[in-house]
Amino acid sequence: MSSMPSSSPPSAGTPRRVEHQQTDKGYVPVYTTDVVRQPWDDYTATDHDVWRQLFARQRRLLVGRASDEFLLAQDAMGMTPDAIPKFDDLNTVLEKATGWSLVGVEGLLPELTFFEHLANRRFPVTWWIRKPEQLDYLAEPDLFHDLFGHVPLLMNPMFGDYMQAYGRGGVKAHGIGADALVNLTRLYWYTVEFGLIRQQDGLRIYGSGIVSSKGESIHCLESDAPNRIGFDLERIMRTRYRIDTYQKTYFVIDSFEQLMDATGPDFTPIYARLATQESYPAGTVLDSDRVFHRGSGEGWATDADV
């Protein structure tokens, strides 16, 4: 799997939360940074049932809404609703396809640790799954979000390369400073987590935060409320976002190739330029935007974006 050290998992169902940390995303729990073995035998019937329900519900919703690449990749991995997949089984397929591997973790990692995993083509997956009363929403990533949402596109060679490049860029931005990290995190948010892609037959979802959410899978494409705007690297890096409501703005790429090309150049001069510029509120539409849909703004929270 990898050369990372393994420690034994905690007793079933209790992630080892070690501290809380103030970040640009608010006050978030931070867990041990260890890689842990997936305690597969300890999953309960309820855990498997949560996976089954969420998997079946999202797959039904995502046909015609998620990008073809996402759906094809998820099928190719052999993820099924039957039971929570074993990381080891997925790794056999994934390592052969693109050289990525999954490592089990307790939850959100400190930024630098996360970047280092990505830079080495390791994707950290939270081992525990949400409770039945959290099917529609929870405030932090769990196994369903990480595995169902993030892992399929790692089967795609170009997207896999993007994720690794992001990890390397993250290590670099971490060395440059806090402002650079804020700019880079917005890029992750508006692509990896909440990105839309323009397909022959219309806009589709590729962002993990959307595909793992029933409500936002519908909202992002079908609601009049949010803006849908063409991808623009520096524009995105200046745009604040929502962490506790649906996004006010989604950015649309034409292809993963466009994403790779736009993010290939060294960001160092961009960080320097952005350091002297104001950020944009999440719902702003600029004259220079390529607007696919101008949001009605209906139902938007008026409190500040992060």
Q: Note whether 224 and 146 are within 8 A (CB).
A: no
Query: 162 vs 246, which CB is nearer to ligand PHE?
Result: 162
What whole-number distance in Å separates Cα of residue 70 and Cα of residue 268?
A: 31
Residue 165 interacting with ligand PHE (CB under 6 A) = yes
Query: 77 vs 181, which CB is nearer to ligand PHE?
Result: 181
What whole-number distance in Å separates Cα of residue 269 and Cα of residue 266?
A: 7
Residue 269 interacting with ligand PHE (CB under 6 A) = no
Task: Find the shortest distance in angstroms from Cβ 291 to Co ion.
Answer: 27
Q: For residue 280, what is the DSSP state?
A: B
Query: 163 vs 220, which CB is nearer to ligand PHE?
Result: 163
Task: Find the shortest distance in angstroms from Cβ 211 to Co ion.
Answer: 10
* Sign of the dihedral through C-alpha 140, 216, 69, 186: negative
Query: 35 vs 143, which CB is nearer to Co ion?
Result: 143
β-strands 196-199, 249-253 pairing? parallel
Task: Find the shortest distance in angstroms from Cβ 298 to Co ion.
Answer: 26
What whole-number distance in Å separates Cα of residue 25 and Cα of residue 77?
A: 31
Contacted entry of ligand PHE, Co ion, none for residue 113, CB cut-off 5 to 8 Å set by kind: none
In terms of C-beta distances under 8 Å and separation of at least 24 residues, what long-range contacts does 86-94 make, across chains too?
86/38, 86/40, 87/38, 87/125, 88/1, 88/38, 90/147, 90/151, 91/1, 93/155, 94/151, 94/154, 94/155
Task: Find the shortest distance in angstroms from Cβ 211 to ligand PHE.
Answer: 20
Residue 267 interacting with ligand PHE (CB under 6 A) = yes
Task: Find the shortest distance in angstroms from Cβ 90 to ligand PHE.
Answer: 24
Contacted entry of ligand PHE, Co ion, none for residue 206, CB cut-off 5 to 8 Å set by kind: none
User: What tokens does 118 get?
Assistant: 């990505």
Please report, as ranges, the residues that interact with ligand PHE according to CB under 6 A. Answer: 162, 165-166, 169, 172, 187, 263-267
